[in-house]
Amino acid sequence: MELLKQRILRDGKILSKDILKVDNLINHQIDPQLMMAIGVEFARRFAYTRANKILTIEASGIAPALMTGYCMGIPVIFAKKSQPSTMQNVLSSPIHSFTRDKDYTIVVSTEYLRPGDKVLCIDDFLAYGSAAQAMDNIIKQAGATSVGLGVVIEKKFQGGGDKLREQGIHIESLACIEELADGKITFTD
With respect to a copy of itself, which residue has the nearer C-beta, 24 or 92?
24
Distance in angstroms (rounded) separating the CA atoms of residues 31 and 63: 10
Bond into 175 cis (ω within 30): no
Angle of CA points 11, 13, 15, to nearest 5°: 175
x-or-dash pattern for a copy of itself, window 45-64, by CB under 8 A?
Answer: -------------xx--xx-
Distance in angstroms (rounded) separating the CA atoms of residues 64 and 15: 23
Q: Interface with a copy of itself includes 37 (CB under 8 A)? A: no
Q: Interface with a copy of itself includes 110 (CB under 8 A)? A: no
With respect to a copy of itself, which residue has the nearer C-beta, 59 or 181?
59
**43: Cα separation from own chain's centroid:** 14
Residues 130-189 binding a copy of itself (CB under 8 A) are none
Q: Interface with a copy of itself includes 21 (CB under 8 A)? A: yes
The dihedrals phi and psi of 161, each to the nearest 5 degrees, come to -60, -45
Residues 67-86 binding a copy of itself (CB under 8 A) are 67, 69-70, 73-78, 80, 84-86
**114: Cα separation from own chain's centroid:** 20
Q: Which amino acid is at 40?
A: V
With respect to a copy of itself, which residue has the nearer C-beta, 70 or 157?
70
Q: Which of 56, 80, 81 is nearest to 68 (CA)?
A: 56
Contacting residues toward a copy of itself, per CB under 8 A: 15, 19, 21, 23-24, 28-33, 35-36, 58-59, 62-63, 66-67, 69-70, 73-78, 80, 84-87, 99-100, 108-109, 111-112
